[in-house]
Amino acid sequence: MLGRLAHFLAKVADAWKETNQEQRKSLARTLFEEILAEDGRLVAVKPRHEFEPFFKLNFERQTADIAGDPEGL
């Protein structure tokens, strides 16, 4: 399941670049349950339940990269 989500979300980044504002809003509503913006800046998001595993995995991977463990070991 994570592999399918990763593939889908990788394509989302590409799609985001090629869509208009209305399509981006629709895409954001599909992925996120809550979106918090302040002063026109995005400050927090809560992914929909079915996408949580991917976002958790992605966060853990980025945290490992930042901590100096590029392989995530």
**pLDDT tens column, 14-29:** 888 888 999 999 988 9
Calculate the average pLDDT of the chain.
81
Considering the entire predicted model, what is its pTM?
0.61
Is 71 inside a domain boundary? Answer: no
pLDDT band per the 50, 70, 90 thresholds, residue 68 = low
Domain residue limits at 50? 2-66
Residue 51 lies in a domain: yes
State the pLDDT at residue 14.
80
pLDDT digit string, tens, across residues 42-53: 899 999 998 888
Is residue 72 assigned to a domain?
Answer: no
Contact, 46 vs 57, CB < 8 A? Answer: no
DSSP code of residue 49: G
Indicate whether 54 belongs to any domain.
Answer: yes
Assigned domain for 73 exists: no
- Assess contact for 70 and 61: CB atoms under 8 A: no
Structure-block tokens of residue 39:
């002063």
Does the pLDDT of residue 55 top 70, yes or no?
A: yes
What is the domain count for the chain? 1
How far does CA 41 lie from the centroid of its chain? 16
